[in-house]
Amino acid sequence: MTLPQLPADKANHVVYGVAIALTAKQLAVTAMMFGLDVFFDPSTIGLAAAVAFGVGKEAFDEIANVLAVGRGEPEPHGVDILDALATASGGLAVWVAAA
């Protein structure tokens, strides 16, 4: 039996999603340690950050493509909603692990 393989690009997005979620979560915990109000669970903040970065990166790539085509250049980036979902899934893994 062979396991399904994840393309390297998608695997990178998952790893970045985990890193973003862990960083945002730690920033929220640090803010709480200094007495700042955090209105959501730190793990939820990490998940939201991973989703925002994943969607934001793909939106940025799309804008860069539109601007490049407007200048008569080829599109420099591939835009794939699955990349955003892969980034979000890294944040989801952190959120589930903290539950």
Residue 1 resides in a domain: no
Residue 2 resides in a domain: no
* Identity of the amino acid at 8: A
pTM of the model: 0.90
Which residue range is the domain that position 30 belongs to?
A: 8-98
R_g over Cα of the chain: 16
pLDDT per position as a tens digit, 37-89: 988 999 999 999 999 999 999 999 999 999 999 999 999 999 999 999 999 99
Instruction: Note the pLDDT of residue 5.
Output: 87
What's the structural domain count of the chain?
1
Compute the 3-state secondary structure of the chain and give helix, strand, coil in percent, each to the nearest 5.
75, 0, 25
CB 6 within 8 A of CB 14: yes
